[in-house]
Amino acid sequence: MIEAIRSAHDVMLERDPSVVALGQDIGYFGGVFRCTDGLQEKYGEHRVIDAPIAEGGIIGVAIGLGVNGLRPVAEIQFADYIYPGFDQIVSELSRLRYRSAGEFFSPVVIRTPCGGGIRGGQTHSQSPEGIFTHISGVKTVMVSNPYDAKGLLISAIESNDPIIFFEPKRIYNGPFDGDPDKPAVSWASHPRGEVPEGYYTVPLDKAEIVQSGEDLTIITYGTIVHVAQAAAKAAGVSAEIIDVRTLMPLDIETLRESVNKTGRCMVAHEATRFCGYGAELVATVQKECFWHLEAPISRVTGWDTPYPHAFEWEYFPVQRRLVDGIRKLMEVA
């Protein structure tokens, strides 16, 4: 997925001279996760810009670059460190177009690695997407595979709306099925691991049905897409699994059709539960599909604690927890 993200930058830096990237360590070094490797050498240090360690400054300056007609792609090294820039996102970036009645806008993309499963403890494991989906005026994306990562990032860079683009770092190098005892696998054998060269897009308002099924619908995104697939298999159920991809705006139609068909719904994410993004999914499904539901909608999420270092696999919604959740949901008569 790293190569896919790098390729999306490469394609857009090549196609559009107004695209610039900025962030800590992204230039000469190519990024701590290598997502911009080689791009400064190719496009120069005025287009792939190393930035001071000041997330609020990076986002504030990116807004100014965007107001001056550029298309900035800002990297925040870890989502856990995005908060100094939160005021710039909430009070400025998201509302420039609205407050100026369309006279000003800034098409900033903020890319940031998120999520756990890498022994990152509470400062390198957070999933703060629900904080951003609550803001009017920004779109929020979380990717789950290399093909989507490239296509969605190109769409995001081309979009005239500000976009928070979450990249689950656990799946940078390969899918993760939620069993930490298994050896890591690469993207090579995954159907969405192959990434076409050159330009293509994935739409910013469409969920994807990852697999069709009849017994229940699992609505999820990011790393948990892969955990859900493995869990459904282990539980021996025919699950329809939906990767939401663009959390805001939400593709309600795809959710509605699926849950109306299966009658059972589980929502799963890594982030904490209380007021998490899953709560919006549950409320939406409840409203849209109430008369088709055969069981209460269930949620499998991270616990409502900070992300712990030692208890990583007790905190993370691992395969076993999803299997339990699926079985309980199927037991409701």
What residues line the site for other proteins (CB under 8 A)?
20, 46-47, 51-52, 54, 56-57, 60-70, 72, 84, 87-88, 91-92, 96-105, 136-137, 139, 159-161, 205, 249-250, 252
Which DSSP string do the residues of 266-277 spell out, in sequence order?
Answer: EEEEEEESTT-H
* CA 156/CA 202 separation, integer angstroms: 9
Burial class (CB in 10 A: 0-12, 13-18, 19+), 128: buried
Q: Hey, what are 199's tokens?
A: 């330009």
Nearer to other proteins, 58 or 153 (CB): 58
Q: How far is the CB of 77 from other proteins (least distance, A)?
A: 16
Give whichever of 56 and 174 is closer to other proteins, judged by the CB atom. 56
- Closer by beta carbon to other proteins, 205 or else 214: 205
- CB contact burial 68-92 (16+ within 10 A = b; e otherwise): eebbbbbbbbbbbbbebbbebbbeb
Q: Cβ closer to other proteins: 290 or 311? A: 290
What distance in Å separates the CA atoms of residue 216 and residue 282, rounded to the nearest whole number? 14
Half-sphere exposure of 100 (CA within 13 A, CB side): 13
Is residue 67 within 8 A of residue 104, CB to CB? The reply is yes
Cα–Cα dist 100/74, whole Å? 23
Alpha carbon distance 287, 26 (integer Å)? 44
Instruction: Write down the least CB distance from residue 24 to other proteins, Å.
Output: 12
124 is catalytic: yes
Question: In angstroms, what is the minimal distance from the CB of 248 to other proteins?
Answer: 8
Catalytic residue among 9, 46, 124, 190: 124
Least spacing, CB of residue 263 vs other proteins, in Å: 24
278 vs 302, beta carbon nearer other proteins: 278
Run of H or E residues at 5:
helix 2-15
Q: Which structure tokens are listed for 216?
A: 């229940």
Pairing of strands 109-114, 163-168: parallel
278 Cβ contact partners less than 8 Å away, ≥ 6 residues apart? 267, 268, 269, 271, 299, 301
Taking alpha carbons only, the member of 47, 104, 37, 101 closest to residue 73 is 47
Q: Taking the complex as a whole, how short is the minimal distance between the CB of residue 68 and other proteins, in angstroms? A: 3
Q: How far is the CB of 216 from other proteins (least distance, A)?
A: 25
By beta-carbon proximity to other proteins, the closer residue of 105 and 221 is: 105
Residue 156 and residue 250: Cα distance in Å, rounded? 15
- Comparison of 66 and 168: residue with beta carbon closer to other proteins: 66
Closest separation in Å from C-beta 206 to other proteins: 12
Q: Which residues are marked as active site?
A: 124
